[in-house]
Structure 1
Amino acid sequence: MATANNPISHHTSHTIGNGASSSNNGSHGDSQNSNVNGHNQSHVLEAPRTSSAVDDLDLIIKGAYYVPSLCSSGESVLCDTSNSYTGTIASDTTPMCSSINLSTFNIIDSTLREGEQFATAYFNTAQKLEIAKALNDFGVDYIELTLPAASEQSRAACEAICKLGLKAKILCHIRCNMDDAKIAVQTGVDRINMRIGTSSRLMAHSHGKDMAFMAAKADEVIKYVKSHNVEIRFSGEDSFHSDFGEILKLYSLVDRLGADRVGIADTGGGATPMEVSEKVETLRRTVSCDIETHFHDDTGCAVANAFLALEAGATHIDTTVLGIGERNGITSLGGLMACLIPTDRTLILNKYKLEKLRFLEHLNAGIVGVEVPFNNSVMPLQQFD
């Protein structure tokens, strides 16, 4: 519920009050010793997940933390991470495979969360139900809903969509605090996407908290959500403008605490494909859990960034129908499909019903009062035969 110290606004992707996504197909707890995208997880996380976070938090406060070595020996070392990530990867690392493993790829469609921040978008409950059904018919893996604590309408819509019995997993956004987590769990969602601002700008001017505070709150919320058999993602808002060394420390910790997925977000929309490739590859070597990415399209790079993120080891991509969202929007569902078809045409056409994309795009365009763009991604129907 909104209070003077914990306000709610329509723009729920912004960090507010104490504010801060996830599937590992149920295998996260046993993944430490498995080989994920070519790196041996036995060297990544040495402390048991059941251990207290107190010692981990102490290391964060002191500026040191166990992170996987990026050298060829593969040994974990206690690193002094007081210096920021430089954006480069050690020259003696083993290059990752450039091909995309689409068998681990999932779409998290955020039309009903990020899309609500589009200038002309406001979805009533009936429209949300219609869009959710259409997204499910298309075959998206996840449908992301707005913060249930934002309003009674948001909470009611979330509960109604959860009761539809859709094949797509239903998840909702929350801030990094227990009040949001409790309300979200009560709605019946399958997954929860937790986030908090991690850039220096948001730490200074939004929630006013440091990394140690974030780690402690994340620990509390993760334990609560997991105790209710709900999967959870932890994401740093504006993480592409954050100190990436600090992001690696924090994400390594929340991975050990049991987060099913960590998220990296280009909230400001200025990330370049090369930067995305380097940072996601480095993150992939640091955590064993799934990785979600969220790209805004301010410079027209959102689809390219999503594609490069998948090549670098990301497992989940946030999209919206027609790319609607805050400012210039985010990765377009249709644009990403058009980009992925040449990569593995058979898999994409078997997994997603692309013949339903046109209806989905016109449905959303009509609801938000825009035309389908003249330069919308081209996927002729004969491709689906």
Structure 2
Amino acid sequence: MATANNPISHHTSHTMGNGASSSSCCGIHGDASHPIGHHTSHTMENGAGSSNNGAHGDGATSCVNGHNQGDVLDAPLMSPATDFFNWNMEHNEADQGPLTDVSPCSSVSRDIDDSDVGTTTSDATPMSSVVNLANFSIIDSTLREGEQFITAYFNIAQKIRIAQGLDDFGVDYIELTSPAASEQSRADCEAICKLGLRAKVLCHIRCNMDDARIAVQTGVDGINMCIGTSSQLMKHSHGKDMAYISAKAQEVIEYVKSKNIEIRFSGEDSFRSDFSEILKLYSLVDRLGADRVGIADTVGGATPIEVYDKIDALRKAVSCDIETHFHNDTGCAIANAFVALEAGATHIDTTVLGIGERNGITPLGGLMACLIPTDRKFALSKYRLEKLNYLEKLVAQIVGVEIPFNNFTLSLKDME
């Protein structure tokens, strides 16, 4: 546990051998007076939230693999081996600015006939019957969870390009690092709120009134609030019990709702929490007027069966929306996200290329590849799939990685 004289290190992980919590996708908690390291996470009780921006000071430039990233796209990019078709560049992003070797379409697989879509056999039930996509939204967290990726040092110019790209693709929400994390994070949040995006802008905060006041002042459309609820985090992270959590949640929810701003309450490490207590807590915040409750697989160990059972139980306990956040430590993030939708979840957290802490979270492209056969017409009417390749190459170049050889593919017909 960090103290006022012991700054949090650059990269910590979810849990240590003795069960002590460290930086996770949902939070590190520390004393209000200690400095915050580069890669902390969702929330910190009595301490500042996460940000990488302290690493590059004024946010003007940042360094990835020894390269200046002030100019977002200097380095050459490797196109995926499946980019067989040379689309007319006029079909691409004339308004996005030049990209080195970025084609306007996603990786190409075989065309899918209409007869292939929605069924597995001639007498099978259509896949669209199990997922209500009309009640589904993407919360992309590339600019929050993605900042925890080991080489993610986004400056403000890069954040703006990513935010505009996500908005052009059609995500419903863009989640940003807590403006309480640093002065740079606050300034970046205000700048993105002023872009006039169609997507709603969210910021992530601790279950803490000071954080809530700072967040409201930035002009965000919504606030994602989080605090540890597993026994490990309640003991080793913030040291509070469920009664304390309930009281703080009520205080923050009532304040944020009085400002006519959306609010989500989420328990960090909720999949490893006592789920009977989660249901009681979430029923309370639902009655208090929370717009969403969030359930987070913070350590990436949930299985699809477990996800279905818990989301199904939660759906029966609350009337508000349900947001889900799945880490990919066991390779189940996409499957878990899809099963969560089947069970009644309404919001899925994603990042471009799945970047994030450790193995990252549900990738935007992978989720889309899974949803296309489920309800192709809906997906095509809501999302601009031809923008996905641009986004993936933009983010890959900024963080200094190659797009995986086995990246998820979408057919040309998917984009028609």
Equivalent position of 2:69 in the other structure: none
Separation (CA, whole Å) in 1 of partners of 2:210 and 2:38 = 18
Determine whether 1:375 maps to 2:406: yes
Determine whether 1:13 maps to 2:41: yes
Count of aligned pairs between the two proteins: 308
Q: CA deviation at 1:383?
A: 2.0
Equivalent position of 1:315 in the other structure: 346
Q: CA deviation at 1:299?
A: 0.4
SS in 1 for 2:338: helix
Instruction: Choose from 216, 238, 244 the match for 2:269.
Output: 238
Determine whether 1:275 maps to 2:306: yes
TM-score (norm 2): 0.72
Residues 9/175 of structure 1: CA separation in 2 closer, same or farther (3 Å cut): farther
Residues 14/160 of structure 1: CA separation in 2 closer, same or farther (3 Å cut): closer
1:316-353 Cα deviation digits (max 9, x unpaired)? 00000000000000000000000000000000011000
The amino acid of 2:39's aligned partner reads H
The amino acid of 1:377's aligned partner reads F
Equivalent position of 2:379 in the other structure: 348
Q: CA deviation at 1:171?
A: 0.3
SS in 1 for 2:180: helix
SS in 1 for 2:404: coil
Q: CA deviation at 1:227?
A: 0.7
Separation (CA, whole Å) in 1 of partners of 2:46 and 2:283 = 21
Separation (CA, whole Å) in 2 of partners of 1:14 and 1:314 = 21
The amino acid of 2:45's aligned partner reads G
Is the 8 Å Cα contact of residues 172 and 193 (structure 1) preserved in structure 2?
A: yes
Is the 8 Å Cα contact of residues 139 and 351 (structure 1) preserved in structure 2?
A: yes
The amino acid of 1:378's aligned partner reads T
Is the 8 Å Cα contact of residues 98 and 311 (structure 1) preserved in structure 2?
A: no
Say which is worse superposed, 97-106 or 307-316, in terms of deviation: 97-106
Residues 306/222 of structure 1: CA separation in 2 closer, same or farther (3 Å cut): same
Residues 352/236 of structure 1: CA separation in 2 closer, same or farther (3 Å cut): same
What aligned pairs does 1:1-385 form with structure 2 within 5 A after superposition? Answer: 4=4, 5-6=31-32, 7=34, 8-18=36-46, 99-385=130-416
Aligned residues with identical type, % of pairs: 78
The amino acid of 2:406's aligned partner reads N
Residues 15/206 of structure 1: CA separation in 2 closer, same or farther (3 Å cut): farther
Separation (CA, whole Å) in 2 of partners of 1:151 and 1:99 = 43
Is the 8 Å Cα contact of residues 130 and 342 (structure 2) preserved in structure 1?
A: yes
Separation (CA, whole Å) in 2 of partners of 1:231 and 1:9 = 29
Separation (CA, whole Å) in 2 of partners of 1:133 and 1:339 = 24
The amino acid of 2:379's aligned partner reads I
Q: CA deviation at 1:13?
A: 2.7
Q: CA deviation at 1:9?
A: 3.9
Separation (CA, whole Å) in 1 of partners of 2:349 and 2:157 = 23
Residues 180/290 of structure 1: CA separation in 2 closer, same or farther (3 Å cut): same
Equivalent position of 1:90 in the other structure: none
CA RMSD, Structure 1 to Structure 2 (Å)? 1.7
TM-score (norm 1): 0.78
Is the 8 Å Cα contact of residues 149 and 356 (structure 2) preserved in structure 1?
A: yes
In the TM superposition, structure 1's runs of 4+ consecutive aligned residues that sit over 6 Å from their partners are: none
Separation (CA, whole Å) in 2 of partners of 1:19 and 1:332 = 30
Which structure 1 segments of 5+ residues have no match?
A: 21-96
Q: CA deviation at 1:382?
A: 2.8
Separation (CA, whole Å) in 2 of partners of 1:13 and 1:294 = 14
Separation (CA, whole Å) in 2 of partners of 1:287 and 1:17 = 26
The amino acid of 1:362's aligned partner reads K
Is the 8 Å Cα contact of residues 139 and 168 (structure 1) preserved in structure 2?
A: yes
The amino acid of 1:17's aligned partner reads E
SS in 2 for 1:378: coil
The amino acid of 1:159's aligned partner reads E
Separation (CA, whole Å) in 1 of partners of 2:350 and 2:300 = 14
1:6-47 Cα deviation digits (max 9, x unpaired)? 244433435423479xxxxxxxxxxxxxxxxxxxxxxxxxxx
Separation (CA, whole Å) in 2 of partners of 1:365 and 1:209 = 39
Is the 8 Å Cα contact of residues 176 and 204 (structure 2) preserved in structure 1?
A: yes
Separation (CA, whole Å) in 2 of partners of 1:360 and 1:171 = 20
Separation (CA, whole Å) in 2 of partners of 1:382 and 1:102 = 20
Residues 364/180 of structure 1: CA separation in 2 closer, same or farther (3 Å cut): same
1:296-328 Cα deviation digits (max 9, x unpaired)? 000000000000000000000000000000000
Is the 8 Å Cα contact of residues 43 and 204 (structure 2) preserved in structure 1?
A: no
